Chain A
């Protein structure tokens, strides 16, 4: 039992379960999943579907954070990627042509990769601190997205493009399939091959890893490029889901949600270790929280406060220092259980 409780994914999992339990009590039919028009339909499906872009962005963010960096520009990349793809598709003679849509998607993803490589170059090549290096693109990128869309919302009407974020494949939302594929690939590359270890070693001490023969620079550029690519795919999903690109609002503040997801999942901001499973859990917690707010009807004026309370709680229960203090203080005066038992729990 203690071993389970000490697992680093224990508290995130408890939080997620708690949120779902809250819905079980307050919302009717929350757990019902039906078939509708040949695809799955239900609140749980929604959580994964709307959470898919966040899971993607957070996956990329996890690796960047594991190298001791951070990427603030993902929100802007989301906007640029969606804007560029929609612009290209809107210029097509036949918006339903699969080739044209693939080309548009290819251009958008290529640009995302290039933007990520640029971030990586600034960090690894020019030695600029990651928070500053990516801040540049965070600020300029949204301006770029607005230039692409001309400050307007571009609406497209393309069935193939709609599939990416709003369509279904074998009854499953297509976005989930994409996320599963990217995750599987990432887990394979980082946990079955040595790549994950190398990333962690760069995050632990970049200079020492370089002296040990790890090509830290190339690795960092690759990781930032991968992060931007994930953001690019997320951008396609978000814009495809509503068949339009909004340069002003698409992906706004998603970088903060992504960082939060990574941190809730137990990855240290100092770098040097990471947990992809934890990140997925973290992203699901954030999306479940959002859906819960809509379902149980928290008034919009108090939404942010409610979110802040839950997140604070999650962070507190995960903090070892807080745990020790809280248990000591509460356990001594009014512990219903025998003291030795309590002590074992605390010191263990």
Chain B
């Protein structure tokens, strides 16, 4: 609650800045001849990931010739509902939004449906029985991310005979990325009994907690071969703990993380992380493609997974100079 309020203060400032920018860009965009108009209701600006997400949507709208009406919900569902209603009144061609919460969208989505405006969900899903209320859901598949991490591990240790001891740093307990990344990873490594997760604790997705938990792991488990962290930041904290224990991260203990933010990619390029599964906020171009198809009335799949890749140390060195976030 309090975190939300403080984010609100920040989001308010961001909204002001955005409004100022929008004023300047308005006439240019309005000059389009029958260009596609998209209303986009963003969650807020709570993290670097989200900021990159917003930027991606705005930039790809510009390059795809889509007129974007952008609103920032400041983490509040009622703001998002208000924004969607105003998009309906303005008769935009398509509405896209990242739902703040999962439930409570049926009424406003029905209004959009009655007005014949297609809706695309991005990044987060809604929990509604009526799937005709939206055309498609574009976002990451967290379970698949966990699987990719597991597959690299299986490949890396395919010739090893000895048991492989894995420690896991989970994300915030109960959050969808934490649950799904754990499940996907567990599913893949279950195929071979030589892989055992000897310890698994929550590091709350933060560096400080990642370091603290890893320190404890290192002391209670003398033989750790692999660390699997649900995001880069916890992995970065753990690297410090491993170095403090006199071991070499990336060599003595192999490290796999998820996200591929800049600092993580840097550590990967430096050889301290071995493998990163990307969770990309840059879904703007895919969103614009989908929007155009939906407006033309073409069929689109109900679930579109964000185009995401994985990075080895070599790939990180190449990708790093052009990394946007």
Q: Which residues of B contact A248 (CB under 8 A)?
A: 3, 46-47
Q: Is the CB of A151 within 8 A of B13?
A: no
Give the segment of B18-26, B121-129, B212-220 that binds chain A.
B212-220
**Which chain A residue has the least Cβ–Cβ distance from B239?**
A242
Q: Give the residues from 249 to 272 in chain A that come closer than 8 angstroms, CB to CB, to chain B.
A: 249-250, 252
**Chain B count of residues within 8 A CB distance of the other chain:** 43
- Shortest beta-carbon distance, A304 to chain B, in Å? 8
Q: A153-B207, A300-B201, A300-B202 are in contact. Are A143 and B6 (CB under 8 A)?
A: yes
Bound complex: CA of A254 vs CA of B170, how far in Å?
A: 21
Q: Given A139-B2, A250-B208, 15 other A-B contacts at CB below 8 A?
A: A138-B2, A143-B8, A155-B263, A166-B240, A241-B208, A241-B211, A246-B206, A246-B207, A249-B206, A294-B201, A294-B213, A294-B216, A295-B220, A300-B202, A303-B201
Q: Which residues of A contact B199 (CB under 8 A)?
A: 294, 297
Tell me if A209 is interfacial: C-beta within 8 Å of chain B.
no
Bound complex: CA of A297 vs CA of B10, how far in Å?
A: 38
Q: A36-B246, A139-B6, A242-B207 are in contact. Are A301 and B173 (CB under 8 A)?
A: yes
What are the 9 closest A-B residue pairs judged by CB atoms, nearest first? A294-B216, A143-B9, A142-B6, A300-B202, A143-B6, A242-B207, A295-B220, A152-B48, A249-B206
**Which chain B residue has the least Cβ–Cβ distance from A79?**
B6
Bound complex: CA of A241 vs CA of B240, how far in Å?
A: 9
Of A27, A37, A291, A294, the most chain B CB neighbours within 10 A belong to: A294
Number of A-B contacts (CB under 8 A): 113
Tell me if B248 is interfacial: C-beta within 8 Å of chain A.
no
Bound complex: CA of A166 vs CA of B240, how far in Å?
A: 9
Query: Which of A41, A142, A243 is in CB contact (< 8 Å) with B245?
Result: A41
Tell me if B61 is interfacial: C-beta within 8 Å of chain A.
no
Q: Is the CB of A140 within 8 A of B212?
A: no
Q: Is the CB of A295 within 8 A of B207?
A: no
Query: Which of A146, A238, A242, A290 is in CB contact (< 8 Å) with B236?
Result: A242
Bound complex: CA of A147 vs CA of B6, how far in Å?
A: 10
Tell me if B5 is interfacial: C-beta within 8 Å of chain A.
yes
Q: Is the CB of B216 within 8 A of A291?
A: yes
Tell me if B204 is interfacial: C-beta within 8 Å of chain A.
yes
Bound complex: CA of A300 vs CA of B204, how far in Å?
A: 10
Tell me if B73 is interfacial: C-beta within 8 Å of chain A.
no
Bound complex: CA of A286 vs CA of B286, how far in Å?
A: 48
Q: Which residues of B contact A297 (CB under 8 A)?
A: 199, 201, 220
Q: Is the CB of B215 within 8 A of A300?
A: no
Give the segment of A42-50, A110-118, A126-134 that binds chain B.
A42-50
Of A41, A146, A293, the most chain B CB neighbours within 10 A belong to: A146
Query: Which of B8, B47, B213, B220 is in CB contact (< 8 Å) with A151?
Result: B47
Q: Is the CB of B45 within 8 A of A151?
A: yes
- Shortest beta-carbon distance, B73 to chain A, in Å? 16
In the complex, 21 of the A-B residue pairs with CB atoms within 8 angstroms, ordered by the A residue number, are: A30-B220, A43-B220, A139-B2, A141-B6, A142-B6, A143-B7, A143-B10, A146-B7, A147-B10, A151-B45, A151-B46, A151-B47, A153-B48, A238-B208, A241-B211, A242-B236, A243-B240, A244-B207, A291-B216, A293-B201, A300-B170
Tell me if B132 is interfacial: C-beta within 8 Å of chain A.
no
Q: Which residues of A contact B8 (CB under 8 A)?
A: 143
Tell me if A341 is interfacial: C-beta within 8 Å of chain B.
no
Q: A300-B173, A301-B173 are in contact. Are A29 and B219 (CB under 8 A)?
A: yes
- Shortest beta-carbon distance, A138 to chain B, in Å? 7
**Which chain A residue has the least Cβ–Cβ distance from B8?**
A143
**Which chain A residue has the least Cβ–Cβ distance from B204?**
A249
Q: Which residues of B contact A300 (CB under 8 A)?
A: 170, 173, 200-202
Q: Is the CB of B233 within 8 A of A153?
A: yes
- Shortest beta-carbon distance, B4 to chain A, in Å? 10
